[in-house]
Copies of this chain bind each other. A is one copy, B any other.
Amino acid sequence: MTSPPLTPLADSLPASVPFVGPEALERASGTIFKARLGANESVFGPSPKAIAAMAKAASEVWQYGDPESHGLRHALAAHHSVTPENIMVGEGIDGLLGYLVRLYVEQGTAVVTSAGAYPTFNYHVAGFGGELHMVPYRDDHEDPDALLAMAKETNARLIYFANPDNPMGSWHDAVAVQRMIDAVPDDCLLILDEAYIELAPDGTAPALDMNNPNVVRMRTFSKGHGMAGARVGYALGEAENIRAFNKIRNHFGMSRISQAGALAALNDQDYLSDVCTKVAASRDRIAEIARENGLTPLPSATNFVTVDCGKDGDYARKVLAGLLAQGIFVRMPFVAPQDRAIRVSCGTPADMDLLADALPQALKAAG
């Protein structure tokens, strides 16, 4: 017996995963990580109010979640001073990116991103047969001018731009981002991924303009709000663009528990502020540890610090391996020249002590 044939596109795709999960790494190595600093999760966790709301919702989970995420969407609208029609709640930014790509990309559609930017976006573009065009980072920053120029050159339908950026932690200020938004071609959509925006300095996010059909902004409860495992993201955009998600999305895809948790998290902005303070302190500590070891921490507007190891990618990969071998889970940029660095998520003071202990040995082993 032979398997029924996949579509030619599906058949051409590898069975791949954008990131191997930390649990899989643990299983492969047979050890449990002592510090989980590789996925830009928030070790500070969600608000206790969100935890309580999720625990309460667990006993109500026999009910499907509201496919309209009505309560959460209305609360987000009030929070951002937009209308609920400008918001689509989805299964994390990953899920929403998949939907957006599906809406705009068919085989051969040109899409622009930065070489070394978020691989899950690239995975979705490949998955729908789009043609990826990549521009290099410029001084460890995504390069708006180069992205726009490439979009014009290739007649691209989508541009992916993260601000702040992952994996470098760098950012552009609101003026620069607004200038980019204003220059997006008419037939092109800018996906502005602001997953880390709550952790960035004031003046990083341009004002929300929900009349502009050429930009959709992505936000999440995974980073500042500390709910990565709950899978709640949302898109902010012009109402007609947002409505298009309803053509294809998995309407009943949201966990009811996650909806309840996100709503409670949103309503606890004091806790979020507290997390921002802790993240800033941990960024400082990572930078200090890096400098103590002769490495160069890059400025960060996120919940991680990318640390320049000062040599090439092979060297940084050895440093990374040395940390992993000591039970410190970190990741690193995939693409040169950014792969001269490792990327360390913020952690508790105890996590930072483990990092401080492990880094010298990792460097020594790297030679």
Contact = CB atoms under 8 A, between A and B. Distances in A.
A300 interface: no
Contacts of A21: 64, 66-68, 252
Interface of A: 1-10, 13-19, 21, 23-24, 27, 36, 39, 41-46, 51, 54-55, 57-68, 70, 91-92, 94-95, 98, 102-106, 109, 120, 127, 157, 186-189, 211-214, 222, 226-231, 238, 240-241, 243-244, 246-248, 250-258, 261
Contact of A58 (B18, B55, B243): B55
A213 B91 contact: no
A142 B266 CA distance: 46
B95 A250 contact: yes
Given A68-B23, A103-B10, A214-B4, A62 B228 contact: yes
Given A41-B64, A55-B55, A70-B24, A240 B19 contact: no
Main secondary structure of the interface of A (DSSP, over half): loop
Given A5-B157, A18-B251, A21-B67, 18 more contacts: A1-B212, A2-B213, A4-B157, A4-B187, A6-B103, A7-B103, A16-B246, A23-B68, A46-B61, A54-B61, A61-B226, A61-B230, A229-B256, A230-B257, A231-B252, A231-B255, A255-B257, A257-B258
Contacts of A9: 106
Contact of A229 (B212, B230, B231, B255): B255
